[in-house]
Amino acid sequence: MYCLLKFASLFLAVSVCHGWLFGDFVGKQKDLDEISLWPQPQKFQSSAVAFKLSPVRFQIVHAKESSAGPNCSLLENAFRRYFEYMFGDMKKHEKSRKKVFDSDLVELKVWVTSADPECDGYPSLQTDESYELSVDGPSAVLKAANVWGALRGLETFSQLVYEDDYGVNNINKTVISDFPRFAHRGILLDSSRHFLPLKVILANLEAMAMNKFNVFHWHIVDDQSFPYMSRTFPELSQKGAFHPFTHVYTPSDVKMVIEFARMRGIRVIPEFDTPGHTQSWGNGITNLLTPCFSGSKPSGTFGPVNPILNSSYEFMAQFFKEISAVFPDAYIHLGGDEVDFNCWKSNPDVGKFMEQQGFGTDYSKLESFYIQRLLDIVAATNKGYMVWQEVFDNGVKLKDDTVVEVWIGNKMEEELQNVTGAGFTTILSAPWYLDYISYGQDWQKYYKVEPLNFPAESRHTDPCVERTAAVPR
Amino acid sequence: MAHTGTYSRCLQVWFSLVVVSVPLEQVEGVWPLPQQIHQSADRYSLSPQLFSFTYGKDSAAQAGCSVLDAAFKRYFSIIFPDFTKGAENGLHYLWPEPKPFVVSVSVKSRGCDGYPDEDSDESYNLSVSNGQAVLRSVTVWGSLRGLESFSQLVYQDDYGSYFLNKTEIVDFPRFAFRGLLLDTSRHYLPLHAILKNLDAMAYSKFNVFHWHIVDDPSFPYQSRTFPDLSNKGAFHPFTHIYTQSDVMRVIEHARMRGIRVVPEFDSPGHTQSWGKGQPDLLTPCYKGDVPSGSFGPVDPTVDTTYKFMERLLKEVKYVFPDSYVHLGGDEVSFACWQSNPNVRKFMEKMGFGKDFTKLESFYMESIMNMTAALNKTSIVWQDVFDYHERPRSKYVVEVWKQGCYLCEMRRVTKAGLKVILAAPFYLDLPIPTHSWARYYIVRPLAFRGTDEQKKLVIGGEVAMWGEYVDATNLTPRLWPRACAAAERLWSDEEKTLNADLAFPRLEEFRCQLLKRGIQAEPLFVGHCKHEYNGL
């Protein structure tokens, strides 16, 4: 079992969450436009001493001691991006070129401490995102183990900068020590129920980075449409997308999303949900879905993936081989939710198969049979997998490093208890279904959720809980 | 996660049936549904280069008619969006051979430079045949409605060629007052957001923009008589105001679309921001014998209040040409009045006892008299009527309270007053499933009353209050759900009670709105040929 929050840090995290936060100064000098950090760092101390920042003089640089340098494109990119966030339009500042203040903050030095900064790598569930930020004249210092922590620190630094009444950028003397409480902080987008143009996905990744979200759970295909352009099976999007040219994600679109996300320390976990939620798959791959029957004749409609045919598994093997190559993250989400048994029940061949296998009339056994084989197929591609909670609930045999996503609101705490009790890493999304709209300041109810509010047997089998906000489902 | 469950199954099956039954020669729908529309499968091709609008020989309005000249230009770009983008492709015209197409518009009465009002005749007849369309109406406003319908008849095939089918339309609105309220006090709305919304209103044939321009949180209206109102009361005296010229721009943009602009200066409640620029206007609240420092509704006991209101209303009369003015009068909290000894003295003097509703009525009547003297008709929220059931003067009541709004409508019409229905159209309150059907199945006249009474229902209004709305989310929250109300207020109720039948037509209309640059949110799962690109 992978427990990324070591006991000590978990204890720290829990205690911090119980109000051991220091930074009393924060309350005193908090002005309307001044220091508002989001999310709130673990440890934060600020004083009233202010430094001015000149867009002409100020620079973000690699510290001499840093293991990352100018060839680290991820950081170079980030330096430019954060510079723009802080100073906006450079043309505005041309007039102030001549103004130089003694109290200037001259530079932010970024110091990556590990031998391998991971500049050209991808973030993972085990990534250390901690950082330390010290803002004091004339140089501020941002220290992090790797580039991912540095990105988090840069975001925080940019939020410390504020404009005074003269339009001059200021930043106060600050010391911050920060790390995330949970390692998986994700957002799910659904690009099947409606096609989301690339720009929108990228804009959302930007907003995620500003909030230190680090996982983009891409629920890319579903019943209604199949916009993912597969090179192994081009018919999937040709016949399954809302439109084969205007409503698809080409391989280069997908690459763009992955790289754009990587540049912001965001993992991209694709979800190819089966055996349910697959209507659109059947358009391109005949024989994939189970034909439903009306009495003794096929009714013309189709149900979940057909689990009794070898061809289904051959298809999945080839398909997931491609997926594992296209998406670099260590995990793939395999879905497994809301499988409707009615179609299977109506099909006589499925019925025969059930008999042969000795499943009786328990179709959840058939579902598990399918999932089991699918998990084995995906495991063979060397990927870890994430599944919706039904897969766990139905007693499927899962690999040790499986991540189970809890989405059903009813009996959520009990589910968390069961999943972690069985030793699995879990992700909580049930209380964060932002697609359910309500009136008023509903952000408050999302804010108040406490993921660890369930009885855990003992500290020893520490639950490793992450959170995913599903937006929209 | 298909949490929509069985509902989605039902709708999917139903929808697929509807789609299958539509003939291959796609016949476009018009939203809102015209009173009478007949279309045939005969279709004619259109070429943007050979297409023109003209005035009929017998038309009282001719070239030089500002409203229609502008409309011709505007609708040309709407009908041929690709043409104006400069993407011309000769390949379009292989078959069929394009022919000239003339839309001839004939208006019976002159009057291009005026404003629409509560009596304007918005009826029109539209006849589309080979090579020509004839649009006839009584007023220019009717022609605007007809042009809108015409623009919805044109469609493109997969190659981008333009077509429309042989059509006969006889149309007029069921209700004369089809309004939409925007709140620019809870959040400032930049001018272009308001103008864009007026465009969207015109596409659905809405004809009244109820501008709830000021309220408690801010006073963005820059008054020439009382500049301090916005100087001190706006969120920011320069960046968050509507100058006189901004207001004129809104009024003219609306006029060009046949939309009336009815301003609301809500008092005596909802006036916190007024007190910033006009000290002594609001009632000082008391804590025991001393003023507490906070203020309540407008002070109805002092002369200065009425002098101020008179001057303000005089300005409003000149700035806003519509014959209606909304005076508000809702949600007045009596606690502050009660706490103030001068107010209590006044109550005694007037013989109101402890009944503060009488004090509010006294205030409202004075204001309504002022408005009447300025030759304007007052609209007030139902609270005013509820406190004062035997009105001495005529005013229009807007029913907004949730609950049995039909009961209220019965009472108001029984008292002989005109009524506007807003209660079931509060679009700022999202329903759990984002359902538009809820607005569609409203039946405004389903209360017990005589025909005379029912005639007093002049229409309805969509309300988009601004507590949680600004330019970031205004358009998607309003559209296309407001379209449901648009059809309810324009079309024949018998023909439009079935939301399931209307769904495909509304879905298509929503895609049209996207094409026209209105960021309308989705109704349900699906897609449009041209999606909103984001940003």
Retrieve residue B5's tokens.
């469950």
> What mean pLDDT is predicted for residues A7-30?
37
Does the pLDDT of residue B8 top 70, yes or no? no
Residue showing tokens 């009541």: B397
| Measured CA distances, B241 to A288, A335, A369, B221, B250 (Å) | 61, 51, 66, 6, 13
For A188, the closest chain B residue by CA position comes to: B1
Question: Across chain A, how many H-helices and E-strands are there?
Answer: 15, 17
Give the closest-approach CA distance of B1 to chain A in angstroms: 6
| Measured CA distances, A68 to A132, B46, B116 (Å) | 16, 63, 69
Annotate A103-125 with DSSP letters as a single string: TB--EEEEEE-SS---TTS---T
Q: Could you tell me which residue, B192 or A396, shows the higher pLDDT? A: B192
Share of chain A above pLDDT 70, in %: 86
Helix runs in A327-359, H state only: 342-346, 348-357
Q: State the distance between the two ends of chain A, measured CA to CA, in whole angstroms.
A: 28
Report pLDDT digits (tens) over B91-111.
444 455 678 999 999 999 988
Instruction: Band the pLDDT of B389: cuts 50, 70, 90.
Output: low
For residue A114, how many other CB atoms are within 10 A of its CB? 14
Annotate B160-173 with DSSP letters as a single string: --EEEEEEEEEE--
Q: Which residues of B touch A243 (CB under 8 A)?
A: 527, 529
Interface predicted TM-score (ipTM): 0.81
| Residue pair A35/A160 in contact by the 8 Å Cβ criterion | yes
For residue A251, how many other CB atoms are within 10 A of its CB? 13
What distance in Å separates the CA atoms of residue B504 and residue B506, rounded to the nearest whole number?
5
| Residue pair B329/B380 in contact by the 8 Å Cβ criterion | yes
Amino acid B432: pLDDT: 56
Partner A contacted by B517 (CB < 8 A):
no
Does the pLDDT of residue B9 top 70, yes or no? no
Retrieve residue B434's tokens.
């984002």
The string over A123-133, giving b where at least 16 C-beta atoms fall within 10 Å of a residue's C-beta and e elsewhere, is bbbebbbbbbb
Nearest to B35 by CA among B108, B119, B142, B162: B142
What distance in Å separates the CA atoms of residue B126 and residue B149, rounded to the nearest whole number?
9
Hey, are the CB atoms on B1 and A407 less than 8 Å from each other? yes
Of A195, A200, A473, the CB nearest to B527: A195
| Measured CA distances, B138 to A55, B19, B145 (Å) | 63, 37, 11
Does the pLDDT of residue B364 top 90, yes or no? yes
Amino acid B160: pLDDT: 85
Hey, are the CB atoms on B527 and A194 less than 8 Å from each other? yes
Retrieve residue A16's tokens.
């911090």
Chain Cα centroid distance, residue A229: 22
Q: Could you tell me which residue, A300 or A55, shows the higher pLDDT? A: A300
What are the backbone dihedrals phi and psi of residue B188, each rounded to the nearest 5 degrees, phi first?
-70, 135
Instruction: Band the pLDDT of A96: cuts 50, 70, 90.
Output: low
**Orientation angle between helical segments B244-255 and B191-203, nearest 10 degrees:** 10
What distance in Å separates the CA atoms of residue B186 and residue A393, rounded to the nearest whole number?
48
| Residue pair B156/B470 in contact by the 8 Å Cβ criterion | no
Report pLDDT digits (tens) over B35-51.
999 999 999 999 998 99
- Residue A134's H or E segment, with its range, is strand A131-135
Beta bridge partners of A108: A60, A140
Give the closest-approach CA distance of B134 to chain A in angstroms: 37
Residues of B labelled catalytic: 331
Amino acid A468: pLDDT: 56
Nearest to B317 by CA among B245, B371, B383, B255: B371
Amino acid B175: pLDDT: 98
Retrieve residue B177's tokens.
């007052």
**Orientation angle between helical segments A363-379 and A348-357, nearest 10 degrees:** 80
Q: For chain A, which residues lie within 8 Å of any Cβ of chain B, measuring from their own Cβ?
A: 193-197, 199-200, 203, 223-225, 242-243, 246-247, 277, 337-338, 407, 436-440, 470, 473
Amino acid B533: pLDDT: 83
Report pLDDT digits (tens) over A139-152.
999 999 999 999 99
What distance in Å separates the CA atoms of residue A229 and residue A240, rounded to the nearest whole number?
10
The string over A208-229, giving b where at least 16 C-beta atoms fall within 10 Å of a residue's C-beta and e elsewhere, is bbeebbbbbbbbbbbbbbbbbb
Kindly report which listed range (A45-59, A186-200, B339-353, B488-502) carries the lowest average pLDDT score. A45-59
What distance in Å separates the CA atoms of residue A192 and residue B402, rounded to the nearest whole number?
37
Of A194, A470, A473, the CB nearest to B522: A194
Partner A contacted by B3 (CB < 8 A):
yes
Kindly report which listed range (A64-68, B12-16, B417-421, B422-426) carries the lowest average pLDDT score. B12-16
For residue A300, how many other CB atoms are within 10 A of its CB? 8
Report pLDDT digits (tens) over A301-356.
999 999 999 999 999 999 999 999 999 999 999 999 999 999 999 999 999 999 99
Nearest to B324 by CA among B408, B373, B264: B264
Report pLDDT digits (tens) over A415-431.
999 999 999 999 999 99
Amino acid A14: pLDDT: 39
To the nearest whole number, what is the mean pLDDT of chain A? 87
Annotate A156-205 with DSSP letters as a single string: HHHHH-EE-TTS-EEEEEEEEEE--S-S-EEEEEE-SSS---HHHHHHHH
| Helix, strand or coil, per DSSP, at residue A422 | coil
Does the pLDDT of residue A49 top 80, yes or no? yes
Give the closest-approach CA distance of B491 to chain A in angstroms: 30
What distance in Å separates the CA atoms of residue A113 and residue A122, rounded to the nearest whole number?
18
Does the pLDDT of residue A17 top 80, yes or no? no
Report pLDDT digits (tens) over B196-244.
999 999 999 999 999 999 999 999 999 999 999 999 999 999 999 999 9
Annotate B10-47 with DSSP letters as a single string: HHHHHHHHHHHHS-SSPPPP-SSPPSEEEEEEEEEEE-
To the nearest whole number, what is the mean pLDDT of chain B? 91
| Helix, strand or coil, per DSSP, at residue A413 | helix
Residues of A labelled catalytic: 338
Q: Which residues of A touch B2 (CB under 8 A)?
A: 223, 277, 338
Report pLDDT digits (tens) over B272-313.
999 999 999 999 999 999 999 999 999 999 999 999 999 999
- Mutation pick from A191, A192, A194, A433 vs chain B, by most beta carbons of B within 10 Å, is A194
Q: Could you tell me which residue, A454 or B479, shows the higher pLDDT? A: B479
Q: Could you tell me which residue, B191 or A401, shows the higher pLDDT? A: B191
Kindly report which listed range (A155-169, A251-265, B279-293, B382-396) carries the lowest average pLDDT score. B382-396
Amino acid A369: pLDDT: 93
- Residues across chain A: 473
Does the pLDDT of residue B86 top 80, yes or no? no
Report pLDDT digits (tens) over B145-154.
999 999 999 9
Does the pLDDT of residue A3 top 80, yes or no? no
Amino acid at A397: K
**E strands in B160-222:** 162-171, 177-183, 208-212
**Orientation angle between helical segments A310-326 and A363-379, nearest 10 degrees:** 40
Cα B55–B252–B470 angle (5° rounding)?
Answer: 130
Report pLDDT digits (tens) over A118-138.
999 999 999 999 999 999 988
| Helix, strand or coil, per DSSP, at residue B485 | helix
Give the closest-approach CA distance of A144 to chain B in angstroms: 34
Amino acid B95: pLDDT: 53
> What mean pLDDT is predicted for residues B421-439?
85
Retrieve residue B490's tokens.
């324009």
> What mean pLDDT is predicted for residues A61-74?
95
Amino acid A21: pLDDT: 35
CA dihedral over B347, B352, B355, B360, signed as positive or negative: negative
> What mean pLDDT is predicted for residues A206-219?
97
For residue B19, how many other CB atoms are within 10 A of its CB? 9
What distance in Å separates the CA atoms of residue B430 and residue A436, rounded to the nearest whole number?
10
Report pLDDT digits (tens) over A237-248.
999 999 999 999
Does the pLDDT of residue B83 top 80, yes or no? no
| Residue pair A470/A271 in contact by the 8 Å Cβ criterion | no
Amino acid at B167: T
